[in-house]
Amino acid sequence: MKSGKFWAWVVFIVGAAYFFIPLLATVEFSLRMRRGVHSFDAYQIVLGDARFQSTFLYSVVAAVFTIILGVLIVVPAAYWIRLRLPQLRPIVEFITLLPLVIPAIVIVFGYIRMYGSNSPLPFLGSNLGANALLVIGYATLALPYMYRAVDTGLRTIDVRTLTEAAQILGAGWGTIIGRVILPNVLIAVLSGAFLTFAIVIGEFTMASLLNRPAFGPYLQNIGANRAYEPAALAIIAFAITWGCMSLIQILSRFAPKSANRPN
């Protein structure tokens, strides 16, 4: 074996060990609930817990609404910037990066100050309002991922020519976005959607400070009070995230081939 290849394998094995040993240790620990034997007791307890089901369902619903809101904001914005306002791209990219720089706790405190029950927009005065505010907050947190995914998708198609081709055939903006642009960036949108899903499922700060019954605070609560169940929950959360990533890979195989550019 050539020395280059040998060292490549060494680096790969060390890297893999760095990621997988803690994961395997967590799996192993989560199976130790029953003394002396390995069992799925911790998983049974977690999955059977009514709070697990309700908080998980809440977060799934919140994730779905976050994805819808994100798509409605990001797709037309990214499309319009590519089509008509390319000079604004650096500014918009900077804005979309802000949620990575500004901690969620700062954003949520801002929300509480701005939308408290005594404010002109009392989102926090009702359950529905607080839920809506949480979804808005999540859409903000997911913005860097959603925007980049959609923008990358738009880069693979000739947005201007496709738009003009649809326009000259009589299409209005709704038809152009719905029937031409969105289907051609659907895989990118789905990538953004799954990343959003993964973020929302595990998010703690916003849900906790807005006092929402989401999966993140439940995870934290279990982690603080139990021994084996948090390990089982971590593995479940990891499996969900991993499943989302795999779905992105699978769906990307069905992306429409880009044939709109000449050879």
Partner 1 sequence: MAEPFLSIQHVRKSYGSNTVVQDFSLDVEPGEFVSFLGPSGCGKTTVLRMVAGFEEPSAGKIVVAGKDITRLKPNQRNVGMVFQAYALFPNLTVAQNIAFGLKVAGMSKADADKRVAEMLDMIKLPQMADRYPYQLSGGQQQRIALARAIAPKPKLLLLDEPLSALDAKVRVSLREEIRSIQKKLGITTIFVTHDQEEALSISDRIAVMYGGKAEQVGTPFEIYNRPATKFVANFVGTLNVLEGTVTDAAAGTVRVNSEQVSLKGKLNGSKSGDTLSLALRPEAISLGRQPGRDSSLSGEISEVHFLGSVIRVRVGIGGNTVSLDTFNSPATPPPAVGEKAEISFSSSDMLVLH
Q: Does 253 bind partner 1 (CB under 8 A)?
A: no
Beta strands in 67-201 (DSSP E): none
Residue 247: alpha-carbon gap to chain centroid: 13
Give me the least distance between CB of 178 and partner 1, in Å please. 12
Kindly state the tokens that stand for 11. 């680096």
Q: Which residue has the tokens 């990001």?
A: 74
Residues 169-208 that bind partner 1 (CB under 8 A): 169-172, 175, 179-180, 183-184, 186
Task: Work out how close the CB of 248 gets to partner 1 at its nearest, in angstroms, rounded to a whole number.
Answer: 19
- Could you give the 3-state DSSP secondary structure of residue 219? helix
Nearer to partner 1, 28 or 164 (CB): 164
> Residues touching partner 1: how many (CB under 8 A)?
27
Q: Which of 46, 67, 108, 166 binds partner 1 (CB under 8 A)?
A: 166
Q: Are 214 and 203 in contact (CB under 8 A)?
A: yes
User: Which of 39, 54, 152, 167 lies at the binding interface for partner 1 (CB under 8 A)?
Assistant: 167
Q: How far is CA 226 from CA 95, 161, 213, 236, in A?
A: 40, 58, 19, 16
Q: Which of 142, 154, 157, 232 binds partner 1 (CB under 8 A)?
A: 157
Helical packing angle, 50-83 and 89-101, nearest 10°:
160
Does residue 53 belong to the site contacting partner 1 (CB under 8 A)? no
Q: Name the one range near partner 1 by CB under 8 A: 30-38, 84-92, 154-162, 237-245.
A: 154-162
Q: Which is nearer to partner 1, 110 or 172 (CB)?
A: 172
Which of 87, 118, 225, 263 touches partner 1 (CB under 8 A)? 263
Contacts 24+ apart (CB under 8 A), 228-231: 228/29, 228/30, 228/32, 228/33, 228/41, 228/42, 229/42, 229/45, 229/46, 231/26, 231/27, 231/29, 231/30, 231/42
**Residue closer to partner 1, measured from CB, 38 or 179:** 179
How far, rounded to the nearest angstrom, does the alpha carbon of residue 13 sit from its chain's CA centroid? Answer: 29
Provide the minimum distance between the beta carbon of 64 and partner 1 in the complex, in angstroms, as a whole number: 24
Q: Applying CB under 8 A, which residues contact partner 1? A: 157-158, 161-162, 164-172, 175, 179-180, 183-184, 186, 256-263
